[in-house]
Structure 1
Amino acid sequence: MFAVYAESFSSDDPLAGLVVGERPAPEAPEGWATVTVKAASLNHHDLWSLRGVGLREESLPMILGCDAAGLDEDGNEVVVHAVIGDPGRGGDETLDPGRSLLSEKHQGTLADQVVVPRRNLVPKPASLSFEEAACLPTAYLTAYRMLFTQGRLTPGETVLVQGAGGGVATALIILGRAAGLRVLATSRDEAKRSRAVELGAHEAYESGARLPVKVDAVMETVGRATWSHSVRSLRPGGRIVISGTTSGPRLDDAELTRIFFLQLAVIGSTMGTRHELDALVKFLDATGTRPLLDRTLPMEQAREGFAAMAGGDVFGKIVFTR
């Protein structure tokens, strides 16, 4: 079958190990389903895999991709949940210490077919296209969990989204505005600040700028470069939800005095559950909210999409279609 896969690693030139070609069709173990992929989206996780981060050499060749929407064996339209955990464990699969994402231990979604545990399938409503649905299982699910599960935000509260322009930050702005939050955003780039407002942010500011109000929560994906600003932007009793550290994890000042004195909460967040993905899909179906697509390409042109992401020439999701 047709597939986009990693054949080797290179930290300096990740696209060197990318192959667009043929791989054996997957066989579904008992309890697993075979999904015919109609659309799959690209994530930074795929570039990290090509650099050898989170993917072992003995697992090569590995079909890349975490996100997909398609048809199950009965012709039902489905969205694929990418977190693979222990089926006997129960509970929140993101807390399973042995969990993995598709394309780490199990072959990924950038192919004609992908096999996943049957419990990982979420019904796709007719209101969402395959391309839109394929954007949801990583960036948008991460944003949904940050805002509503870990952040416990409710309509009328104010949230600050650091680093407008990134995939999760874009999802945070779109979902937050749709849920009735007052959304503030920051970016070093004036064009990205303008785009953030177009997406739904009420106001956008230069990174590090003093805000006119203290916020209820900060959604943090940047790390070192914005951490102090995040802490200083919170009202007493506010909370930071962190799901990434794109500028690096080592802080110059963790602001511990301010954190304990103002009784701030620092909450980690990773991906999301199958139940949360189902809730996210239903939220978009009910509100008419849609993910932002940067571009849609046939999967045969995957290298073009990978190159755009590697070069930072992206605002929204890159989606490959079959």
Structure 2
Amino acid sequence: MKAVVHVGQAGMEGLSVREMEVLQPKAGEVRVKLKTAGLNHRDLFVLVRHKPTDPPLIIGSDGAGVVDAVGEGVTGVLVGDEVVINPSLGWLEKTDAPPEGFEILGLPFHGTFAEQVVISAVNVAPKPEHLSWEEAGVLSLAALTAYRALFTQGQLREGMKVLIPGIGSGVATFLLQFAKAAGAAVYVTSRSAEKCQKALELGADKAFDSNGDWEQELGGEKVDLVIECVGAATFNKSLKQLRPGGTVVTFGASAGDVVELNLRDFFYGQFRLFGTTMGSGEEYKEMLDFITKHQIKPVIDSIYPLEQYKEALNRMENAQQLGKIGFYI
């Protein structure tokens, strides 16, 4: 089968489209013939974490397709089922943190940038009927991350005020859509005027320049919840916009992972800080129910043929996208 494989060299230079062996599902597994796949920032990190001396690895975490083989003992999944793939491996129930052994599809196990993928049957779910194949293929990792950040860790409720710095990524656009669907007021930032305008079209109540004066832009208004998916570049600016007793949920560090924190301001503010990453199978099902109820669709930036993986990765690395980047398989 055709696949995008990383081996032999560090970074993007180690990627190529090559033929890989078609695997057969073992007991409890299914094989999915993929129609589409989705790109995530994690795929860029994998190119660093996967060493040149490691065995060849098919990258990619997101995908959707049709089940074409079922392993022994599998119930509830049939050949011909149209499914989306949950890339959160080994984390079934909603818990404070993932259990030991938790992994994400695409490292260390072969991922979705291929014509087929073999995965545990518990990691596939029926494709939401309101989603196209392009939308279904880019959904899972970003939407699951956003759902847990907002609802499990952030305890989002109707009427709350939410700040999302750095609108533009797939997760950030889901955060915006989910929070609005839940009845929150949503404020976003970006260095791009185009991305701010798009966020307003998606329902953001305010959108302003990340490099500006946030207090002035918000007119002194404070928020209940900040979802920090940028990192050190915005963390302390975010904290200043939080009301006393408010919550910060963080999962991103693309703009720096070391923050200087004024502890006195933090404890006098009675702030709460939660980390998060991905989510459980239980939250994945909740997320699918939520997007079906509210008919939410991923914001699609662009879809490439699989052979144009370099163009897609470069677009993400340069932060040119607004929403999700995907592949036709």
What is the TM-score of this pair, normalised by structure 2?
0.90
User: Are residue 172 (structure 1) and residue 167 (structure 2) matched?
Assistant: no
How far the C-alpha of 1:307 sits from its partner, in A, is: 2.7
Alpha-carbon separation, structure 2, partners of 1:92 and 1:32: 24
Question: Which of 145, 149, 152 is matched with 1:146 structurally?
Answer: 149
2:228 alignment counterpart: 220
Instruction: Map 1:267-286 onto structure 2 (within 5 A).
Output: 267-286=274-293
Report the counterpart of residue 75 of structure 2 in structure 1.
Answer: none
Per the alignment, residue 8 of structure 2 pairs with: 8
Which residue matches 2:34? 37
The alignment covers a number of residue pairs equal to 314
Moved more, 124-133 or 303-312: 303-312
Distance 1:31 1:140 in 2: 25
| 1:193 alignment partner AA | C
Are the aligned partners of 1:161 and 1:218 in contact in 2 as well (CA < 8 Å)? yes
Q: Deviation of residue 287 (structure 1)?
A: 1.3
Return the offset for 1:302. 2.5
Deviation at 1:39, TM superposition (A): 0.9
- Paired position in structure 2 for 1:237: 245
Pairwise CA RMSD: 1.8
Q: Per-residue CA shift, 1:274-316, capped at 9, x if unaligned?
A: 2222222222222122110011122233232223223332211
AA aligned opposite 1:17:
G
Q: 1:218 to 1:299 in 2, by over 3 A?
A: same
Question: 1:93 deviation in Å?
Answer: 9.5
Partner of 2:102: 99
SS state at 1:160 partner:
strand
Measure how far apart 1:318 and its partner are.
1.1
191 and 97 in structure 1: CA distance in 2 versus 1, 3 angstrom threshold: same
Per-residue CA deviations over 1:99-146 (Å, capped at 9, x if unaligned) read 111111210011111111111111112221121112222112111111
Is the CA contact (8 Å cut-off) linking 1:227 and 1:254 kept in structure 2? no
Residues 214-235 of structure 1, C-alpha deviations (whole Å, 9 max, x = no match) = 1010000112111111111111
SS of match in other structure, 1:75: coil
Which string of whole-angstrom CA distances, capped at 9 and with x for unpartnered residues, describes residues 148-171 of structure 1? Answer: 111000111110001112222122
Choose which of 203, 206, 225 in structure 2 pairs with 1:203.
206
Matching residue's letter, 1:27: Q
The yes-or-no answer on 1:289 pairing with 2:296 is yes
The answer to whether 1:65 aligns with 2:60 is yes
Q: Which letter maps to 1:48?
A: F
Instruction: Give the secondary structure class of the aligned counterpart of 1:225.
Output: helix
Secondary structure of 1:95's counterpart equals: coil
Q: Which amino acid aligns with 2:141?
A: T
Amino acid at match of 2:21: P
Give 5+ residue unaligned stretches, structure 2.
70-78
Aligned with 1:291: secondary structure? Answer: coil
1:56 deviates by: 4.2
Q: Is the 8 A contact 2:87 2:123 kept in 1?
A: yes
Pairing of 1:88-127 with structure 2 (within 5 A): 92=95, 95-127=98-130
Change (3 A) 1:231 1:221: same
Determine if contact 1:39/1:134 at 8 Å carries over to the other structure: yes
Distance 1:263 1:94, change over 3 A: closer
Q: Which amino acid aligns with 2:59?
A: L
Say if 2:91 and 2:281, in contact at 8 Å, map to a contact too: no
User: How far apart, in 1, do the equivalents of 2:295 and 2:202 lie?
Assistant: 14
Amino acid at match of 2:82: E
- 1:86 Cα deviation from its structure 2 partner: 7.2
Q: Which residue of 2 aligns with 1:84?
A: 89
Query: What is the CA-CA distance between 1:91 and the residue it aligns to?
Result: 5.6
**1:157 alignment partner, one of 151, 157, 160:** 160
The answer (yes or no) to whether the contact 1:139–1:171 under 8 Å persists in 2 is yes
Counterpart of 2:284 in structure 1: which amino acid?
Answer: L
- Whether 1:258 and 2:253 are equivalent positions in the alignment is no
One-letter identity of the residue aligned with 1:106? F
Structure 1: gaps (5+ residues): none
% identity of equivalent residues: 39
Question: For the residues of structure 1 that align with 2:295 and 2:61, how far apart are their CA atoms?
Answer: 24
